[in-house]
Amino acid sequence: QVQLVESGGGLVQAGGSLRLSCAASRIAFSVNAMGWYRQAPGKQRELVAGITSDGNTNYADSVKGRFTISRDYPKKTVYLQMNSLKPEDTAVYYCSTNGPQGNYWGQGTQVTVSS
């Protein structure tokens, strides 16, 4: 059973930073694309950032220049460094993977940014 376990969420003031982690297990991490999504109350889930198996990245326009996605192959972990956080970044953040074994999601971690 593929597992994605997110951590690092919490409450932070506007302008602050958080780093989310997603530890993957039972997947071919080196060949899988990884991504971070978020869902705010009453809104659809949206892609925040993605990283391919060879390290190419893409970002939502709303987070470009503030968020950075990265991956550690030996640790099978993907990170999302979030700087200059805004109240509109408040959401549940989900880790996702897509590869030969299919598409999987983590349980989500809450990020709350106070103004």
Task: State the pLDDT at residue 77.
Answer: 97
Task: State the pLDDT at residue 30.
Answer: 85
Give yes or no for a contact between 27 and 102, defined as CB atoms under 8 angstroms apart: no
Average pLDDT over residues 10-16: 98
Task: State the pLDDT at residue 17.
Answer: 98
Question: Residues 27-82: pLDDT tens digits?
Answer: 888 889 999 999 999 999 999 999 999 999 999 999 999 999 999 999 999 999 99
Supply the mean pLDDT for the chain.
96
Query: Whose CA is closest to 27, among 73, 92, 87, 84?
Result: 73
Query: Using CA atoms, how far apart are residues 94 and 39, in angstroms rounded to an integer?
Result: 8
pLDDT higher than 90, residue 1: no
